[in-house]
Amino acid sequence: MGIVRRQSTYSTIFTYIGFAIGAINTMILFPKFFSTEAFGLTRIMIEFSLFFSAFSTLGSLNALYKFNPFYKDFLPKGKNDLPYLTLMANLIGCVLFLIAALGFEPFWEKHFGHGSPLFVTHFRLVIPFTISYTFIMLLEAYCWVIKKTIITNIVKELFYRLTTTVFILLYILHWISLETFFTLFSYSYVPALLVLIYVIYKNGGLTICAKISRATQRLYKKILVFVTYHYSGMLIGVLPRTIDGLLIAGMTDQGLENLAIYSIPIYLASIMDGPFRSMVGITTTLIAEAWKNKDMAKIKELYQKTSINLLIIGLAIFGILLPNIDNLIRFNPAYGMAKAIFIVAGLAKIIDLGMGMNAQILVLSKYWKMDFYSSVIFIVVNIILDYFMILHFGVMGAAYGSAIALIFYNLIRFFYLWWLFNLQPFDRKTLYVLLIAAAAIFITWQVPFMGNLFLDAIIRSVIFGLLYGPAVLYFNISEDINAMYKGVVQKFLRKS
């Protein structure tokens, strides 16, 4: 876990710098200087682009992760044509997306015209946003296979948010109009894309070989079968991340306004995903190599350690945010339902993080079709639950539906891995960290309001940290976290 710990640590630092900038954009600048409808438009642009970018990859990225170790073994350096084939698949996917997006404009107008008319008039801005994000994903995949995950996290998580901040400031200073802001926002990923292209070019770690190799001639049938199943599963898997916003915008009156309010607590819950996003790049590569080498001990180690590490950090973030959620409502009463939405989404995310890298282990195994089948079940359950929950409970129903579906999905994959490989990520330390976090959150929540929002937030965060952090270290819940702590202390003592 040394390489995972090192790269994950650096990636997490930059990821959370990005989250901090994103929090300023999402929770302060957008609500203060933009109408709720205009803010909601930026959210639904992101929701659409997440799904359409997954469509545009044509399932090629996971084929790159799974089969690249075999290509490296079979082919001399410079003769690997898998990156080229992946590039061509993404170019074709973007052309197909462009045709579909323009061809279905009447459908979007009919579905969103009542609750979200602003989105209908700005729908074409989804096109540059989606295409640029598709190629960000492609270049990220290239960096993953050569184990250069830190730079991708810096560029992907940091540059996009900084670019958005710059565009917001230009609007606040009245240097650009609102329409110009929307146009520039649709190109927010372009600076990050250009930087990644430059970094990969300078690194020289990946050669684009257009000549079809003997490895492709031998493996193309397996690759096509894998891509066909996994592409469908990937589309199905990404839809739950977007279905809430699409249904809220399309089913409720004042859809964009409701989506804007809903996005605040969901953004807070997404902060808990930071460690996973930092860890998944290098861990996916190591899991693929372990499956190729049939190293079940390594897979078990990665499964258990990612589970406990993600759970510890996820609970730490949840424990800081939850006692402070009332300060968010005091800051802006329009976020009144934020607490309930965050509790539901946050608890589901804790379960998701505690399951570790179950998706990566399953999809890279010989039973990868199971991931497709479980994804099909997941999306059907998710759409049905979301539809009826929103119908009966409004915006809050979206949180209920997504949380139930996410928990159900993780349970399916948990039992698959337990049944197929006798793998499960939990031990008594899982229970210990849950009890420690629950006690720390309960005590922190009992602290009376200090009269000042920022002072209160600082005091609550410090109290939780002093209760939670030392207890996790004392009981040695995670060897990796304890090793990191000792390393930091030793460096500090040497400098002093």
DSSP one-letter string for 238-252: HHHHHHHHHHHHHHS
Two tokens at 482?
Answer: 């304890």
Closest of 251, 259, 244 to residue 391, by C-alpha: 251
Confidence of residue 333 (pLDDT cuts 50, 70, 90): confident
Higher-scoring residue by pLDDT: 424, 243: 424
d(CA 11, CA 274): 9
Closest of 343, 274, 317, 304 to residue 437, by C-alpha: 317
Q: How far is CA 52 from the centre of its chain?
A: 15
> Which stretch, 67-71, 333-337, 424-428, has highest mean pLDDT?
424-428
Q: Are 116 and 255 in contact (CB under 8 A)?
A: yes
Two tokens at 326?
Answer: 């009332």
Residue 471 burial (10 A CB sphere; 0-12, 13-18, 19+): middle
Q: What is the mean pLDDT of residues 466-482?
A: 91
Q: What is the mean pLDDT of residues 309-327?
A: 91
Residue 75: the pLDDT is: 74
d(CA 299, CA 293): 10
Closest of 384, 426, 388 to residue 405, by C-alpha: 384
Helix (H, G, I), strand (E, B) or coil at 69: helix
Closest of 112, 382, 46, 402 to residue 255, by C-alpha: 112
* 232 contacts: CB under 8 Å, gap ≥ 6: 59, 372, 375, 376
* Residue linked to tokens 């800051």: 331
Alpha helix (H) residue ranges in 29-125:
30-33, 36-56, 60-74, 82-103, 105-112, 117-121
d(CA 206, CA 85): 13
From residue 36, alpha-carbon distances to 257, 425, 440 in Å are 5, 42, 35
Q: Are 200 and 149 in contact (CB under 8 A)?
A: no
* 453 contacts: CB under 8 Å, gap ≥ 6: 327, 330, 331
The packing angle between helices 338-354 and 296-331, to 10°, is 170
Q: Are 288 and 69 in contact (CB under 8 A)?
A: yes
Per residue in 16-30, pLDDT tens? Answer: 787 788 888 888 888
Q: What angle do CA 216, 222, 227 make, to 5 degrees?
A: 100
Q: Is the pLDDT of residue 158 over 60?
A: yes
Confidence of residue 176 (pLDDT cuts 50, 70, 90): very high
Q: Are 308 and 478 in contact (CB under 8 A)?
A: yes
Closest of 45, 203, 205 to residue 133, by C-alpha: 45
d(CA 364, CA 145): 14
Q: Are 25 and 18 in contact (CB under 8 A)?
A: no
Q: Is the pLDDT of residue 99 over 80?
A: yes
Q: Is the pLDDT of residue 89 over 80?
A: yes
State which amino acid sits at residue 394: G
Closest of 49, 56, 65 to residue 371, by C-alpha: 65
Residue 197: the pLDDT is: 82
d(CA 379, CA 233): 9
Where does residue 422 fall: left (phi above 0), alpha (psi -120 to 50 degrees), or beta otherwise?
left
pTM score:
0.73
Q: What is the mean pLDDT of residues 230-238?
A: 62
Indicate the range of 213-217, 426-430, 445-449, 464-468 predicted with least confidence: 213-217
Dihedral sign of CA atoms 15, 16, 17, 21 in order: positive
Percentage with pLDDT > 90 across the chain: 26
Closest of 51, 65, 56 to residue 363, by C-alpha: 65
Give Rg (Cα) of the chain.
23
Residue 4: the pLDDT is: 53
Q: Phi and psi dihedrals of 367, rounded to 5?
A: -100, 30
Q: Is the pLDDT of residue 72 over 80?
A: no
Residue 232: the pLDDT is: 63
Q: Are 61 and 141 in contact (CB under 8 A)?
A: yes
Closest of 19, 257, 217, 216 to residue 119, by C-alpha: 257
Helix (H, G, I), strand (E, B) or coil at 303: helix
Per residue in 279-316, pLDDT tens? Answer: 776 787 788 888 888 899 999 998 999 999 999 999 99
Q: What is the mean pLDDT of residues 138-161?
A: 75
Q: What is the mean pLDDT of residues 32-61?
A: 84
d(CA 469, CA 465): 5
Closest of 169, 164, 168 to residue 188, by C-alpha: 164
Percentage with pLDDT > 70 across the chain: 90
Give me the chain's average pLDDT, please.
83
The residue ranges of every structural domain in the chain are: 2-491
State which amino acid sits at residue 148: K
* 467 contacts: CB under 8 Å, gap ≥ 6: 439, 440, 443, 444
Residue 66: the pLDDT is: 74
Q: Is the pLDDT of residue 7 over 60?
A: no
* 251 contacts: CB under 8 Å, gap ≥ 6: 115, 387, 390, 391
* 415 contacts: CB under 8 Å, gap ≥ 6: none
